Structure 1
Amino acid sequence: MDRMTALTVFRNVVELGSFAAASRQLGLSPAAISKNVSELEAHLSVRLINRTTRRMSLTEAGTLYFERVVQALDDLAEADGILQAAQNTPSGLLRVSAPMTVTLVRLSDAIPKFLLRYPEISLDLRLDDRRVNLVEEGFDIALRGSDNLEDSGLIARKLATMDHVLCAAPSYLETHGRPQQPEDLAQHNCIQFSLSDHATKWTFHNGKRTASVPISGRYKVSSSLAVRDALCAGFGISVIPRMYVAQDIATGRLCPVLQDWTPNETSLYAVYPSRRFIVSKVRVFLDFLVDEMSA
């Protein structure tokens, strides 16, 4: 039995919740995963995991052992990381998941500068608006926009606050009228961003009161760029991050509406797996994100 491999397999099985997920994460066959756990249990003369064909759970001994194994493996990873950091050369493959729109609007033109600055880093950037499982899918960092980030056991670093604006094309407002209060939106064709935390209800504040308004419309779409295109075409009215439409507002293609009312903001975070020591390639990319989003 390779003790280090067996401990790593045991940790991954527990953290991912299944032998199959650990197999995919570590690139080992299901038989090898099962064999490593069995050999570790034989070495310790104790059962660590109760398992059936449908579920698994830690035994009491397994729970105690898992806590110490995690600490030991993290200490070893930190020792390795200290040596890597001492070399002062961030390197290796960096896998990042990020929402498409905010990346194209705010980050993609700066990515080449980052890679030129760190020639030993290779970047695999996946533009995908879904929320990936960082650990199971092998990502180092993910960007997530939310006004209520879930407690996922990940470390989150806030990059920016994205303020929103309610807007429409002049042609739409000429035809359908300009809402005077948030409640007037019930009479309008509201373009819905389906991945938003507020896809069916928009909330506004004016310093004195808060108005949460159920909205509906003929067009629901999972891309903010598609929302912007529909707005510019005069198809409806929508709440959208201001950075996506700033140029359209400046040129008059779109007009802000209900300017005395402020829509909910969205915070943009970089999230990454919990570790006491961040490897240098992750650290420098986090610093890059902070600099770009604050510019």
Structure 2
Amino acid sequence: MNQLLAMRAFCCIVENRGFSAAAEQWETTSSTLSRHLQHLEAQLGVRLINRTTRHLSLTEAGERYHAACLDILQRLDQAALAVADDGSEPSGTLRISVPLVIGTLELGNWLPGFQQRYPKIRVDLSCEDRFVDLVAERFDLALRISGPLEDSSLVAKKLTVSDLILVAAPGYVSRQGLPRQVDELATHQLLGFTGSNEWRLNSARADTVVVALNGRFKTDTITSLHSAALAGLGIAAFTRATVQQNLQSGQLVQILPDYNAGQRHYFALYPHARLLAPKVRVFVEFMAQHYTSV
């Protein structure tokens, strides 16, 4: 029996929480993976996985062996990558999951520069706001915007922390005037998301002011909110990273610059810190550099 192959099969079964998904990822059959597991258990003399027709769980011995397998396989793979990564240009298809805002409103800020720097990397981008299963759905990494992340089995590299700032189109400001105090927002059209009824604005003095969203327009997508702001329909809140180019080009102006509506953390998520392919490593480094400059 090829023990390393059996160890990889065992880890794949665990990571995919079942034989069918693991077999699909390996492009093999469930019975083949089952044989690898049976041979491994026979060699070790212990049961690694308790399995029924509907449920799979690690035994106590299986948990210990899985942790050891991950460590061994990651070290082997990293050693192989270190030998292969001999200074040659990173290449291959990079499959990335990103939220809608990064894949649409921010795309032009980073993708042209990345493709120019790494012409041999093909980007396969999936844009949706749900949290994907990186392993089961075969993503190399994901970018996420959120508050501080909870503990997870994934590696989370923080790219930046961006303030939510208030912005409006110059045409709106010309018609309705520029608010200079927070209480003046009550007379303005405040654009927000469906289900959100207020902003909590924080000042440099650490004061927090609650402002009711009284505008005539709400939406459930950030792209339509952005379009409404650009069309001069009112004042909206976006991360500075999202509207940086709009501010630089004069399409939007910042409102009440001493206040923000909170902060959002930008993360790169990937399964293993010690198992980064060159194409993943350079992308994470590029995005960290990109957001540092915003």
TM-score range, shorter chain: 0.7 to 0.9
Counterpart of 2:96? 96
Alignment-mate amino acid for residue 138 of structure 1? R
For the aligned residue pairs, the C-alpha RMSD in angstroms reads: 3.2
Q: Indicate which of 261, 273, 276 corresponds to 1:275.
A: 273
TM-score, normalised with respect to structure 1: 0.81
Q: Indicate which of 174, 197, 202 corresponds to 2:199.
A: 202
Secondary structure of 2:84 counterpart: helix
What are the residue-to-residue correspondences of 1:202-281 with 2, within 5 Å?
Answer: 202-206=199-203, 207-213=205-211, 215=213, 218-223=217-222, 225-246=223-244, 248-249=246-247, 254-281=252-279
Deviating more after overlay: 71-80 vs 244-253: 244-253
What are the residue-to-residue correspondences of 1:109-258 with 2, within 5 Å?
Answer: 109-116=112-119, 119=120, 121-169=121-169, 174=175, 180-181=181-182, 189-192=190-193, 201-206=198-203, 207-213=205-211, 215=213, 218-223=217-222, 225-246=223-244, 248-249=246-247, 254-258=252-256
Measured against aligned partners, the alpha-carbon deviations of 1:79-112 in whole angstroms (never above 9, x if no partner) come to 2122112354433332222331354241122132
Cα 1:9/1:102, change in 2 over 3 Å: farther
Segments of structure 2 that go 5 or more residues without pairing to the other structure are none
Cα 1:141/1:175, change in 2 over 3 Å: same
Alignment-mate amino acid for residue 111 of structure 2? S
Segments of structure 1 that go 5 or more residues without pairing to the other structure are none
Secondary structure of 2:47 counterpart: coil
Cα 1:214/1:86, change in 2 over 3 Å: same
Preserved contact between residue 106 and residue 242 of structure 2 (Cα < 8 Å): no
Cα 1:232/1:110, change in 2 over 3 Å: same
TM-score, normalised with respect to structure 2: 0.81
Q: How many residues align?
A: 287
Cα 1:221/1:85, change in 2 over 3 Å: same
Alignment-mate amino acid for residue 220 of structure 2? V
Measured against aligned partners, the alpha-carbon deviations of 1:140-176 in whole angstroms (never above 9, x if no partner) come to 2221112322322222222233232213346666569
Preserved contact between residue 143 and residue 266 of structure 2 (Cα < 8 Å): yes
What is the Cα deviation at residue 179 of structure 1? 8.8
What is the Cα deviation at residue 272 of structure 1? 1.5
Preserved contact between residue 114 and residue 286 of structure 2 (Cα < 8 Å): no
